[in-house]
């Protein structure tokens, strides 16, 4: 976001973002039920619908922030997507790769069976299997949409807004990474997302 938009994220704005995510997810779920009822087939496990649901879930809090927070103060959502110096990428890529290895190992330590985690893991794997069956949707989500939308929401809005609100940058990074993990709504993705969000 441009430097002249020195917005701040406080508890109220945080609630707006969380509510936006929940509303977006609920709306996507309702759309899935409606489409499934109309065509007589469950589309909620398909790759195409998961792609649509992801967009709705992530875009809703961004739009909430734009219309309910920024525009009321005479600002508009505008992000700076300029590239960084090459030396920055030389530092980030090895760090990201190393953290991916740590996240992958740590995730495998979380149980996938039991009265609580067992059913959650079953739902989680069913969603992944549905997405994996559509390679185009999988690539679009993981390579294009996820990096852009998650960068905007969790770093461009949440982390930057916390820092602008005089939160220590290290704490802001941890908080943004933690919330990034939580919104995945399962412990396996939570751990991986949290660790990668720290980079």
78 φ, ψ (degrees, to nearest 5): -155, 115
Q: Is residue 63 part of a domain?
A: yes
Tokens describing residue 26: 């609920």
Range of the structural domain that residue 91 is part of: 11-197
Among 184, 189, 177, CA closest to 103: 189
Task: Look at the block and give the residue holding tokens 């589309």.
Answer: 43
The string of DSSP letters for 51-91 reads: HHHHHHHHHHHHHHIIIIIIGGGT-------PPPPHHHHHH
Q: Is residue 4 part of a domain?
A: no
User: Long-range contacts of range 37-45, CB-CB < 8 Å, 24 or more positions apart?
Assistant: 44/130, 45/126, 45/127, 45/129, 45/130
Q: pTM of the predicted model, to two decimals?
A: 0.79
Query: For residue 4, what pLDDT is reported?
Result: 47
Query: For residue 56, what pLDDT is reported?
Result: 95
CA distance 99 to 97: 5
Q: Is residue 95 part of a domain?
A: yes
Low-confidence ranges of the chain (pLDDT < 70): 1-5, 78-84
* Count: domains in the chain: 1
Query: For residue 1, what pLDDT is reported?
Result: 47
Query: For residue 81, what pLDDT is reported?
Result: 61
Q: Is residue 3 part of a domain?
A: no
Query: For residue 128, what pLDDT is reported?
Result: 77
Query: For residue 79, what pLDDT is reported?
Result: 66
């Amino acid at each position: 976001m441009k430097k002249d938009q020195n917005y701040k994220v406080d508890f109220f704005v945080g609630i707006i973002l969380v509510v936006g995510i929940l509303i977006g997810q609920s709306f996507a779920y309702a759309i899935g039920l409606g489409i499934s009822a109309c065509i007589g087939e469950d589309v909620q496990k398909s790759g195409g619908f998961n792609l649509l649901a992801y967009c709705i879930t992530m875009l809703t809090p961004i739009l909430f922030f734009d219309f309910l927070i920024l525009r009321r103060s005479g600002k508009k959502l505008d992000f700076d997507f300029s590239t960084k110096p090459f030396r920055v990428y030389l530092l980030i890529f090895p760090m990201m790769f190393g953290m991916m290895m740590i996240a992958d190992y740590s995730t495998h330590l979380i149980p996938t069976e039991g009265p609580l985690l067992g059913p959650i893991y079953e739902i989680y794997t069913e969603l992944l299997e549905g997405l994996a069956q559509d390679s185009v949707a999988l690539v679009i989500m993981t390579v294009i949409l996820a990096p852009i939308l998650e960068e905007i929401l969790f770093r461009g809005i949440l982390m930057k807004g916390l820092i602008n609100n005089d939160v220590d940058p290290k704490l802001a990074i941890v908080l943004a990474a933690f919330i990034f993990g939580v919104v995945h709504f399962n412990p396996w993705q939570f751990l991986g997302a949290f660790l990668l969000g720290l980079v």
